Structure 1
Amino acid sequence: MKRACISLVLLLSGVPAAMSNPDSGIVPFVDPRIGVNGGGNVLIGPCQPFSIVRMNPHMEKPHITSGYKIGARITGFTVTGVSGTGGGGRYGNFCVYPQSGELDPSKRLSEVADEMAELGYYAANLTAERVKAELTSTEKVGYMRFTFGPQAAKHILLDMTSVIDRFRSRPSDGRCVVAYGVMNDDGLIEGQGVFQGGWGHNKPYILYFSAKTDVPCSAFGAFKGGETLPGMRVITGDNCGFYMTFSDSQPQAITVKIAVSTLSVGKAREHLLRSGDMDFRQALEENRATWLKYLDRFRIEGGTQKQRTLFYTSLYRTLVMPTDVTGENPQWQNSEPHFWDYYCIWDTFRTVFPLLSIAYPSQYVNMIRSLIDIYDHEGWLPDAWVVGGIARQQGGTNADVVIAEAMAKGIKGFDYDKAYLAVKKNATVPADESWDNYQSVMAGKHASYMENGYVPAHRISCVSHTLEYAYNDYCMSRIAAKMGHREEAEVYARRSMNCYNLFDSRTGFFWAKTEQGEWAENFSPTFMDKSVTNRYYYEGTPWHYAMYVPHDFAGLIRRHGGARAFEAKLDSMFIGKYYTQSNEPDIHVPYLYNYVGAQHRTAEVVRSLLSTRYSTRRAGLPGNDDSGCMSSWYIFSAMGFYPIAGQSFYLIGSPVFDKVTIALENGKKFIVQAVNNSEANKYIQRAYLNGKALDRSWIDHSEIARGGVLRFEMGDKPSGWASDCQMPIPM
């Protein structure tokens, strides 16, 4: 027993020097553990920006959408996954499990100890197997290094049929339909799996893999269920895989490399062979070098250790999804960029795309091109596009917002004419409303909205759909104006006022109406239907949607009785704790004090949310990260300005750092400085843009794109700065 304990200690202490002494720059400030618990649902394992390979520990059921759960036993390590999503799970494919002692495919289960996660790296000890597991990845290849304890038989099992399944015990949960694999004479294990289920749609999808170990095995075979089939080179089924056994004379550390493709086994093999002799440490170095090219676009000075960690971890999270499968689209082949896993634009149009527009416009353009390409082949711009299929629309036709914003900001590189036609279809052609029992749509707008000016109460999410459709119409009007179609622009500008068809002046809230134009019964400002039907509002209450009129805040303020009455309404929302940071519909609301000359209240609310709703704990996110939406909210708010998505300007908040330098793709730099900044000094006293006094609490994208310096002088009391400024007129 004593000898065994000593061996285990030695095994657990074998952390690479690069892990125990991370780089002195950005690397220490990325903590993949933040948000893995408490509903954040983010990946703890390694990936690269927008990569298909997103590795993660795969825990016993029930597990969350990432497949990970603190304190649960592990069933292996998967190569694919999604980060921060809700609903039913996806991916979790090609699960690898190291096993010591007796080979038994039915006993792939172990407690986990000594977990650690850093940028591009994950490690843990599987106590039942006396194995240390380490993960890293390149864009297309996952690396798993398993260090076995001494004096034990060594096996590695590859389950070709694993999925994130039974998240909510529904028939639509993920499952493997069938898998097929071959153990080749050269030691490569290759195959494919047909998978189905998960959030958004039930369309089957196929993933392909090619895998090998850096050490040749001494024996091999297949397994099906719990049965082992020694020497078997070909296997197929819905619960099957391969195993490899290694002799005592072979090294204790064995690395498995597994490449993934959405196109073919041959493409997966190509990715694997292209990695050549790259070992685990070299792959980790490449992973970090790739990440640093993205993360280094932002340099921060000042702030606390917690704030710096949250900033760079949030930036990391923002760049995980969607999945770049350019050149490997299995449905059609062309030269256009292609992305899977927009989970979904209803979340990401608000903060993720605006952040891309500033620091990563090339990626922004590629994503828009992919959306237009989907329109070309599928007939619609999707709100969600998951593993090659249009998925359920949550709100409006919000790809319209993404495209309108790019045009408003003067971002080039995509076909404006085709984008205009795609958005116009959303505005003019009613959706097919027959796809499910909940009266929802996959793409487009409800016909009733186009006919009556609102979605009636018998349709799910009728109020939230109406509000979002109205803003989508506004975006259509701006696109039409950009393209020179003035009369058409006026038509859709008028139609964007449909939002007020559901504004009840008696209550000051938006509420449902019947087809006959009567108000629905039983109004309550906190009404929320938590069933799958989302009656009246999608994932929200009248409070959460009370301020969703991004194109006409001035009109909304008038309907509430003017600036002071609207300010009181905002105060009521925060004092009464009706605001929620954990979901998207109202996350812009803290910045609306700018519209009534109370910028200091935005500073107070935003600083409070940054410090209380975000932390460096494992439950450090306010809710589902939603493909980086909540993370990018933190980034903008910590820098001190926030986008109104679909438009070209940003509202001023309260910066937490002394200095943020953004390296723009055009070679220029935009710098935000906060002089005399501290936790107490949250209020802007004076502001300067490129040395000239700035008396407005907003800046335009063009002012960022030209480069320059936005300088704030901070103090511990409200100064009245920008209290009488003119707010931007939406363009």
Structure 2
Amino acid sequence: MRANAAAALMSVACLSGPGANAAQPAASDAPLLPASHDTREPISSVDPFLGVDAGGKVFLGATVPFGMVKLGPDVESIDGVPAGGGYASTGLVDGFSHLHLSGGSGKYGNILVAPVTGPLDPQDIKSARSSEDSSPGYYRTQLTRYATLAELTATRRVGFHRYTFARSGDAHLTINVAHLLNHGNGDESQQFVGGKVTVLSDHEVTGVGRYKGGWNEGGEYRVYFYAVADTPAAQSHTWSGSTLSSSQSASIERDAPLGASLDYTTAVGQVIQLKVGLSFVSEDQARRNVMTETPGWSFDTVHDAAVAAWNEALSPLRISGATESQRRQFYTAMYHAMLVPSDRTGENPLWKSKEPYYDDYYAIWDTFRSAGPLLTLIAPDRERDSIRSLIDIYRHEGYMPDARSGNTTGRTQGGSNADVMVADAYVKGMTGIDYPTAFAAMQKDAEVPPANARMEGRGGLTDYNSKGYVTNADERSGSRTVEYAYDDYAIAELACGLGRDAAARRYAAHAGNWANLWDTSLSVGGMTGFIRPRNVDGSWAAPDLKVRGTWPDFQYEGDIWTYSLYAPQDVRGLIRISGGKQAFIHRLDTLFDRKHFDMTNEPGFLLPMLYIWAGRPDKTADRIVDQLEKPFNDSRAGLPGNDDSGAMSAWLIFQMLGFYPNAGQDVYLIGTPSFPEAEIDMPSGKVFRIVTRNLDSGHLNRYIQSATLNGKPLDQAWFRHAQIADGGTLELTLGSTPTAWGTRVPPPSLSDPVSPLCAAASPHP
């Protein structure tokens, strides 16, 4: 976070009616004025409701960029089934909890606050809602059962509630410590395992909840809280189990209800405010977080600081000539990409460190492909600190995580993809990272079999290192093999940079292991040559033709059409093993035309760009336009699948800008832009501009006719990070028919005559 927004968040104090600032549907879809004439703040184009339905599972509520507290409604359907991620457009509101993920589910929903009027029954406080609205840093709704307006805003570690009671009579502010999402006894369910709550005074409640489980099958984590109201209560209650008591404290050591209430007799229109500070360390620290981050009672001031923080976070990207729909999609995608990981610096209960501490990497398997490279460009300090946190987790726990949430690492879905995240930062010149220690962590990933391969490290590693592939004695042997090969390429890159010649040779050789599962005789759907499971003795096992595999299958969340083409380090090699350029183009056409491309999931994110290596950037343009026009829109169902911590949103941002990263390398692949002009404030402080000529509203002019980069002709459909690091201009001229532009020089590949790696790692010395 930049200095002035951080300062604003640290000096907040009170509010009056931010609903007017909430994002509203536009009345017109006409193009905007150029950015130089558009004085609107980027936050005005963010619609937090975009993607909440149809599986997007994005967070809805109040938070700041990368905030620890994500305060929003938890909703259940009429038949009592809770939404796994917290929010749903229809259903009853249980209350407002302070911890959520975004683009995923199965975790959190902790410390639930709900206003109640009339008699209090802690087991029956849900309400219908109306007049719901949200904008970055703000949420409001009318709880119709209680005729109460609920408004929420937040700082990094504090949730700020404002409740306006329309009726006089009994009213209560309830705090449910036992509440959580995805509650149950399944493998991916959460359990409440105990806690305590104490009413300190007529306006203060403190306590702790203990929880475990969730999608990552995590161990116990504790959430401490300190809640303080601006209005003294007439009385208070606590409950443990089903018993409502006048006792000032309650505790429980099992999965059963636990909570407290502050009880009032309200007048018509009375406003009561509540601040809830969270900590993963102690109740005292939760209280300090309230005093430090929200010292006064001005809801408006807290909200204004959140708005300032979001405007600053969204400011590094500017677009002009966009329709209102495009603008909403673009800035909302930026907003989604900055919700996680969660900045918990100073809130690490496990060890003391001067390093940043981040949690809710959920999961790097999703985000390394798109969200990580995006943050490297537009939020480099966040990406740097996130990587420093990964390295510090390795120092204290032995491995960098893939998925980590609730201060627990797990589960590892594919490769050790934090390796790619580190390499991406290194090859793009990011400083402030302890790369030698990162290299040690990456080598451990590649050499030391973990005790629990679903939680950390690489499963099937012994076979992979001795045979060159993971055998079907281990689960996910196909997706793991091809991902490990790319992770090894990332290690080779860093080994080259650190002068570790022997390691560079070893891992560069392992980077070719993706081909060891290729059966050149396997025919599926008219195509020949796919990856295939191999037995421990090296013989072929039966092909796995599942459309979308899962944990015990050959490939994870993808099919063999997708994973057979996963070798981002060596697309030249893919083309060769597929039978040459024309055969490769035909394979890609078949993959897309027969619906094997799955935009709802990350493994295929790079597939539309693979045509570029085969000399057909025009087909890349066709596939991108098709995806931008069909599965993406600006509605509540505007994302094609789970946003997965901003991974889906980051893919959209890059493709709308007109280029896409080959994550872990210093190469960007040129697609087809959606805007006449865009600007990126680079980490260097300079501006990189993308200017597009002849762009039409129907995107018929989608094919690049010619290009210049920094004033010089560019005849290839890719460029390097170093060419834009100090700013510059990429100018693209479009037309309605393909030309020879971009067909002659493919992007780098490991099997190029001159390897993209250092001489020590080159297979062609």
**TM class by smaller structure:** over 0.9
* Structure 1 residue runs of 4 or more that deviate by more than 6 Å after TM superposition: 20-23
2:43 matched to 1:30?
A: no
Aligned to 1:130: 147
Aligned to 1:705: 725
Aligned to 2:532: 511
The correspondence for 2:604, drawn from 579, 586, 589, is 586
Aligned to 2:638: 620
8 A contact 1:172–1:197 mirrored in 2? yes
**CA distance, structure 2, for counterparts of residue 196 and residue 725 of structure 1:** 52
Q: What pairs up with 1:59-458 in 2 under 5 angstroms?
A: 59-60=75-76, 61-86=80-105, 89-166=106-183, 170-185=186-201, 187-230=203-246, 232-236=248-252, 238-249=256-267, 252-274=270-292, 275-432=294-451, 435=452, 440=454, 442-446=456-460, 447-458=462-473
- Check 1:559–1:633 CA distance in 2 against 1; reply closer, same or farther (3 A cut): same
The correspondence for 2:65, drawn from 27, 31, 49, is 49
Secondary structure of 2:162 counterpart: strand
Aligned to 2:513: 498
8 A contact 1:104–1:226 mirrored in 2? no
The one-letter amino acid paired with 2:530 is F
8 A contact 1:340–1:387 mirrored in 2? yes
The one-letter amino acid paired with 1:568 is H
Q: CA deviation at 1:551?
A: 0.9
Aligned to 2:669: 651
Secondary structure of 1:342 counterpart: coil
**CA distance, structure 1, for counterparts of residue 349 and residue 182 of structure 2:** 24
**CA distance, structure 2, for counterparts of residue 278 and residue 293 of structure 1:** 24
Secondary structure of 1:247 counterpart: strand
Q: CA deviation at 1:445?
A: 4.4
**CA distance, structure 2, for counterparts of residue 499 and residue 115 of structure 1:** 50
2:738 matched to 1:723?
A: no
Q: CA deviation at 1:725?
A: 2.2
8 A contact 1:459–1:535 mirrored in 2? no
**CA distance, structure 1, for counterparts of residue 18 and residue 743 of structure 2:** 55
8 A contact 2:196–2:208 mirrored in 1? yes
The one-letter amino acid paired with 1:443 is G
Normalised by the length of structure 1, the TM-score is: 0.94
Secondary structure of 1:380 counterpart: coil
**CA distance, structure 1, for counterparts of residue 539 and residue 653 of structure 2:** 43
Q: CA deviation at 1:236?
A: 4.3
**CA distance, structure 2, for counterparts of residue 277 and residue 488 of structure 1:** 56
The one-letter amino acid paired with 2:344 is V
Superposed CA offset, 1:635-658 (max 9, x none): 000000001111011100001011
**CA distance, structure 1, for counterparts of residue 489 and residue 746 of structure 2:** 21
Q: CA deviation at 1:146?
A: 1.4
**CA distance, structure 1, for counterparts of residue 210 and residue 474 of structure 2:** 34
**CA distance, structure 2, for counterparts of residue 76 and residue 669 of structure 1:** 44
**CA distance, structure 2, for counterparts of residue 204 and residue 113 of structure 1:** 36
Q: CA deviation at 1:224?
A: 2.9
**CA distance, structure 2, for counterparts of residue 659 and residue 185 of structure 1:** 58
Q: CA deviation at 1:610?
A: 1.1
Q: CA deviation at 1:395?
A: 0.2
8 A contact 1:143–1:256 mirrored in 2? yes
**CA distance, structure 1, for counterparts of residue 238 and residue 309 of structure 2:** 36
Secondary structure of 1:558 counterpart: helix
The correspondence for 2:482, drawn from 459, 467, 475, is 467
8 A contact 1:600–1:720 mirrored in 2? no
Normalised by the length of structure 2, the TM-score is: 0.90
8 A contact 2:140–2:151 mirrored in 1? yes
Q: CA deviation at 1:518?
A: 1.6
**CA distance, structure 1, for counterparts of residue 592 and residue 358 of structure 2:** 38
Q: CA deviation at 1:549?
A: 0.5
The correspondence for 1:667, drawn from 673, 676, 685, is 685
**CA distance, structure 1, for counterparts of residue 486 and residue 334 of structure 2:** 28
**CA distance, structure 1, for counterparts of residue 606 and residue 24 of structure 2:** 40
Aligned to 1:6: none
- Check 1:549–1:15 CA distance in 2 against 1; reply closer, same or farther (3 A cut): closer
**CA distance, structure 2, for counterparts of residue 140 and residue 251 of structure 1:** 29
Q: Unaligned regions of 5+ residues in structure 1, if any?
A: 1-12
The one-letter amino acid paired with 1:247 is T
Q: CA deviation at 1:223?
A: 2.3
Q: CA deviation at 1:191?
A: 1.0
Secondary structure of 2:201 counterpart: coil
Q: CA deviation at 1:186?
A: 6.2
Secondary structure of 1:635 counterpart: helix
- Check 1:412–1:20 CA distance in 2 against 1; reply closer, same or farther (3 A cut): closer
2:715 matched to 1:689?
A: no
**CA distance, structure 2, for counterparts of residue 315 and residue 340 of structure 1:** 20
**CA distance, structure 2, for counterparts of residue 309 and residue 470 of structure 1:** 38
**CA distance, structure 2, for counterparts of residue 211 and residue 359 of structure 1:** 35
8 A contact 1:427–1:445 mirrored in 2? no
Q: CA deviation at 1:728?
A: 2.7
**Paired residues, number:** 708
Secondary structure of 1:196 counterpart: strand
Q: Percent identity?
A: 37
Secondary structure of 1:543 counterpart: helix
Secondary structure of 1:107 counterpart: coil
**CA distance, structure 2, for counterparts of residue 19 and residue 153 of structure 1:** 31
